[in-house]
Amino acid sequence: MIDSPQADGYAQERFRLWPAQVQLMWRLLAERLVIILKARQLGISWLACGYALWLCLFRPGRVVLLFSKGQLEADELLRRIGVMYVSLPEWLRNRAPALVTQNASELAWANGSVVRSLPATQNAGRTFTASLVIMDESAFMQWAETLYTALKPTIDGGGQLIIVSTANGTRGLFHKLWVNAVKGVNRFVPLFLSWRARPDRDEAWRARVASEAISSALDLQEYPDTPDDAFQNTGGERFLPSMSWWDACRDSLPALTRHEPMVIALDAATSNDSFGLIAVTRHPADHERVAVRHVQEWKPVNGVVDFREPEQVLRALIASWGVACVTYDPFQLHDMMQRMKAEGIAYFREFPQQSQRLESDKALLDLIVARRIAHDGNEALRTHIENADRKVDAESRRLRIVKREQSLKIDLAVALSMCTYVCLQLPL
């Protein structure tokens, strides 16, 4: 779609419009309120930027406001408009109004037209009367509803509002506006572009992308063929679609020695959930793999887990083997770990349960699929993995292990995620 030779310090951008882009451009010229649901990488943000530039150059005194999920993303839209302007053919740029202001958040021309990139905060843009507002990736905006409420009056005098996004589940402003537009409840014109809108994509490409996805629901959200595909629930798939993947990792391991660095992970609970302890090492025959060496679960008695026995087992493991690290969820284990840290008997490391868990849970899935983890078939561990679902973080495209049902236990699966992640970080 775009060629990018260097010119005047910018990437020279030249559009060769695809048929779907041509159809969309005609709708932008004709409609005042437009909501666009799209697959990824279709060039729609570039198209909207080109439309904004055309409006400013050929319609004097226009005010265009750009919003995206963050200030950096909004500034990138503005940068694209600047790239397009300096990349115009010389004959056209000589006839266009001169650019009189150019900085990270504003472009202004001698004919009085201006484009501003603004943060997607609750009241941004309220003081302007806009000719055109572009809300890009609006399904991922934190303050989408309050921003929309502040912005809508700025174009009600005759301005235009273009809302563009891939889907992000069935919550929030974007989904609400889309559903109401389809029903004819509001005045937005709903436009959908499937993954097929890009001519170089075929069924083989689509099958390859689907095979590489961490979630079938997220895959459909990113590359939908229909609007219903796009608005999938990304929060309820099994962590392992088939337990045959886990069973295929069963292996007979040689006896453990004190020379193998061991990582122990603990996921604790005081009631309801169980207390899980997992120990792993690198596989003695292949250091790119990990080997599960010890699995133990303590269930609540009369609704309470007694921490004294897990502590005794942990101390015994530290005394018997070459424990390189003990990693743990600090929520319930802070006091125990602080006491053991003070004794200096091992290296203890807190395991953050937010961003790092997203990384480790995805890494565990990859280990299992690639058969880079070996285990002896422990039934408790198998059960906890079978109980686990994967919840996909739509924005970061990473996943988290969660319970399928509240009554099910997954503590050993969580501990396995933590300790395999740390183990693979150890120097060989």
> What residues does each domain of the chain span?
2-230, 244-423
| φ, ψ (nearest 5 deg) of residue 310 | -55, -35
37-56 pLDDT per residue, tens: 999 999 999 999 999 999 99
| 71 torsion bin: left (phi>0), alpha (psi -120 to 50), beta (else) | alpha
CATH code for the part of the protein at 244-423: 3.30.420.240
Q: What is the pLDDT of residues 321-343, one digit of tens each?
A: 999 999 998 888 888 999 999 99
What is the pLDDT averaged over residues 279-295? Answer: 95
Question: Residue 86 pairs with which residues in a beta bridge?
Answer: none
Strands 262-267 and 237-238: unpaired
φ/ψ of residue 236, rounded to 5: -140, 45
pLDDT in tens, 240-273: 878 999 999 999 998 999 989 999 999 987 666 7
DSSP for 329-372, written as a single string: -HHHHHHHHHHHHHHTSS-EEE--SSHHHHHHHHHHHHHHHTT-
pLDDT digits (tens, 9 = 90+) for 53-103: 999 999 999 999 999 988 899 999 999 999 999 989 988 888 889 999 999
- pLDDT tens-digit map of 207-217: 898 888 777 77
Return the CATH number of the domain spanning residue range 2-230. Answer: 3.40.50.300
Picking from 330, 265, 338, 268, the residue whose alpha carbon sits closest to that of residue 304 is 268
- pLDDT of 7 > 80? The answer is no
CA distance 362 to 401: 9
